[in-house]
A and B are shown apart, each in its own frame.
Chain A
Amino acid sequence: MTTTIVEKLRKQIESFDSAPTPEGIGTVVSVGDGVAEIDGLPNALMAEMLEFDISSDASLADSIGDTDRVFGMVLNLEEHAVRVVVLGDTRRVKEGMTVRSSGRVLSVPVGEALIGRVVNTLGEPIDGKGPIKEEKMYPVERPAHPVIERAPVKQPLHTGLKAVDSMIPIGRGQRELIIGDRFTGKTTIAVDTILNQINEPEATRPICIYVAIGQKESKTARIVAKLKDAGAMDFTIVVDAPASDPAALQFLAPYAGVTMGEYFMEKGKDVLVIYDDLSKQSVAYREVSLLLRRPPGREAFPGDIFYLHSRLLERSAKLSKELGGGSITALPIIETQEGDVSAYIPTNVISITDGQIFLETDLFNKGVRPAINVGLSVSRVGSSAQTKAMKSVAGKMRIELAQYRELEAFAQFSGDLDEDTKKRLDKGARLVEVLKQPHSSPLGVEKQVAIIVAANEGFFKTVSVEQTAEVSVKLATFLENQYAETLAKIRASGEVSDETKASLVKAYEQFTNAHPEHFTV
């Protein structure tokens, strides 16, 4: 073993050819707050990746002991200097240090080897599982595919959440914003969507990329552990730019994530990218822009803050058949303050995306989880991205819920109600309960359809409102165990045929007889 290694090393030393070529260099004039001013670099490109030569003022022994490289990215090209954001520990950069030009814009590794790994913005592994053998390097800034290369969004991406898949359906290639105050379940919806992809057949299962921007490392670690326990890390990449990372790495992380996704999309695969969250990316970009002395605009954000998000989200697409038919579906997350969706960044991102899922603190506190305000939430793709089965059963739900909400407010102040109003209130209350779902429990689309059919058939009419949520969970388990064939038929055909419906009705009767304690109203 030792001999083999020695032979290997000897061969490498003998074949070593330093052959240095001219390289563009500059000198650090000043450094502070994560930004370095460089003199020289006459041919610097915008967004070019530079390397700070840590060895330039150190001895060989010290340089060998300190092999971690420090990179920077050019963000300002001025008449007499180049301003660079340091993508690493600024304390290692000194005045007078030499900076080497790489000749290429900032790039990240892409390829199958990234799946199952946790990496930082530069694509370097941070999960302790060893180096990643990248297939290629793609630049983080790439133009979005033009209109002519795209196809309409028609294939559903199932989140596993009844409230979303029935009334706010998401298609592959769509951008659907998840927006709400802190602690309203935004990340939970995103993570449950990843977990639900386990229910997808492997051939059509999307590669998932979770980009954590400015998050606590403990939160990201919990998410990774949850994905690992569920087996979801087998098709997921996590890009982590925690709050302790420099602002430059935080604002670049979403671009790194979508770049990794584009590799798979251009190979004809489907990808789901979650940006958690873009509010923190905006703050990081504002910080970098102010340090670069770019003029501040509204709320001190730079003038190109809209472009920061638009060029990111435009890279999500459904490609045409000629280009392989792959897609990137984006679930960007935005955190609002006190439910203010009319603030600057939320309105910017709402205008870019193809719909939003709006989460409310009031609903969350009332126990309605996921706390989705169905009235304010929308999917602009709509039922084009739903299976026939779901379309046929979920069509009226949104209207019924809207009517329920109107009547609910009215009923608080009214004494006597007519029978019709009472019926609508009862049905609406039970519908709200049916749509509740525990976290980390995504449901396959066939089970969702079966439960909604049950609700439409009046199955829950004789169940108390308080027990409805519990009974719907038990019903799902019962169907999975006793009527797996029926569910498989719904999944395979994407429809609810008369025969399937009859089978479901029979299942409901069987369940009712088996659990009479729940049907007491």
Chain B
Amino acid sequence: MKAKQYAEALFLATRAKSDAELDRIATQFQTLLTKRGHLALLPAVVRELDKLFAQRNNAAEIVIRVANLGDAETQNDKIEADIRTLNATPLPKRILVDTTLIGGYEVRAQGHRIDRTYKRSLLTLYTNLITNNQ
């Protein structure tokens, strides 16, 4: 918990800083940890910081999930249309393959998602059938 708090503080402190400033912050941070007797937390702080950077990076990119790599090319037009719907056009794209999706694709960007996978459609159909016919 403390490691997370340190990581969050460090993350905020290092935003939009030059390399020289980052070096200075890192040194001062280590001194602070030593002073407080929290140096043992340093590895955990680094791990939490990595997570935070990963979360921020995820938020700053488009993630396209497909069942197989070929689907990303064959359905490129539809994917682009959905990206425009999400107002995420300028962001970099990352393609992930997940065979459990069966077919179709899913686009995620900026905390939103458009799910056109076969898996989602089949699950929704199944849920509708069992709900309407109970």
The answer to whether B111 and A41 touch across the interface, beta carbons within 8 angstroms, is yes
> B interface, by DSSP: helix, strand, loop or mixed?
helix
Beta-carbon contact of A22 and B127 below 8 Å: no
State which of B17-25, B33-41, B51-59 sits at the interface with chain A: B51-59
B85 touches A22 (CB 8 A): yes
- What is the minimal beta-carbon distance from A276 to any residue of chain B, in angstroms? 31
User: What 1/0 flags go to B108-134 for Cβ under 8 Å of A?
Assistant: 101111111001111111111111111
| CB < 8 Å A-B pair total | 77
Instruction: Tell me the B44-86 residues at the A interface (CB within 8 Å).
Output: 51-52, 55, 58-59, 85-86
Q: How many residues of B contact A (CB 8 A)?
A: 34
Q: Is the CB of B125 within 8 A of A13?
A: yes
- Cβ of A204 within 8 Å of any chain B Cβ, yes or no, is no
B13 interface contact, C-beta 8 A: no
C-beta contact mask, A54-84 vs B, less than 8 Å → 1, else 0? 0101111001100100000000000010000
Interface status of A24 (Cβ within 8 A of chain B): yes
A130: B residues at CB distance < 8 A: 134
Q: Is the CB of B112 within 8 A of A23?
A: yes
> What are the residues of chain B within 8 A of A12 when measuring CB–CB?
125, 128-129, 132
Whether A16 and B123, one on each chain, are in contact in the complex, defined by CB atoms closer than 8 angstroms, is no
Please tell me if the beta carbons of A18 and B134 are within 8 angstroms of each other in the complex: no
Given the known interface contacts A8-B133, A130-B134, the answer about A63 and B113 at a Cβ–Cβ threshold of 8 Å is no
Say whether A20 contacts B52, CB under 8 Å.
no
Q: A8-B133, A55-B119, A67-B127 are in contact. Are A60 and B102 (CB under 8 A)?
A: yes
Which of A18, A23, A39, A130 has the most B CB atoms < 10 Å from its CB? Answer: A18
CB of A68 to closest CB in B, whole Å: 11
| Distance of A408 Cα from B111 Cα, bound (Å) | 73
**Which A17-62 residues sit within 8 Å CB-CB of chain B?**
18, 20-27, 29, 39-43, 55, 57-60
Residues from chain A with a CB closer than 8 A to the CB of B133 are: 5, 8-9
- List residues of chain B with CB within 8 A of the CB of A39: 55, 58
Task: State whether A24 touches B115 (Cβ < 8 A).
Answer: no
Determine whether the beta carbon of A26 is less than 8 Å from that of B119.
no
Describe A's contact surface by its main secondary structure: mixed
Smallest Cβ-Cβ distance to A80: which chain B residue: B8
- Residues on B with C-beta less than 8 A from A5 are 133
Interface status of A146 (Cβ within 8 A of chain B): no
Cα–Cα, bound, A41→B52 (Å):
16
Q: How far, in whole Å, are A490 and B49 apart by their CA atoms in the complex?
A: 78
Instruction: Please judge, given known A-B contacts A5-B133, A25-B112, whether A16 and B55 are in contact too, CB under 8 Å.
Output: no
B8, B114, B123, B130: the one within 8 Å of A60 (CB): B123
Q: B112–A24 contact, CB under 8 A?
A: yes
Q: Which residue of A lies closest to B126 (CB)?
A: A64
Which of A8, A29, A43 is B55 in contact with, Cβ under 8 Å?
Answer: A29
Q: Is B14 engaged at the interface, CB distance under 8 Å to the other chain?
A: no
B28 at the binding interface (Cβ < 8 Å): no
The reply on B100 being an interface residue by CB < 8 A is: yes
Q: How far is the CB of A10 from chain B (nearest CB, A)?
A: 11
Question: How many Å lie between the Cα of A25 and that of B120 in the bound state?
Answer: 15
- A327 and B119 CA atoms in complex are apart in Å by 48
A binding-site residues for B, Cβ under 8 Å: 5, 8-9, 12-13, 16, 18, 20-27, 29, 39-43, 55, 57-60, 63-64, 67, 80, 98, 130-131
Offer 21 A-B interface pairs, CB within 8 angstroms, sorted by A.
Answer: A5-B133, A8-B133, A12-B128, A12-B129, A13-B125, A18-B125, A20-B114, A20-B120, A21-B114, A22-B85, A22-B86, A25-B108, A25-B113, A55-B119, A55-B120, A60-B102, A63-B119, A67-B126, A67-B130, A80-B8, A131-B134
Can you add 12 more A-B contacts, CB < 8 Å, to A29-B51, A80-B52, A131-B134? A9-B129, A16-B121, A18-B121, A18-B124, A22-B86, A23-B114, A23-B115, A26-B111, A57-B100, A60-B102, A80-B8, A130-B134
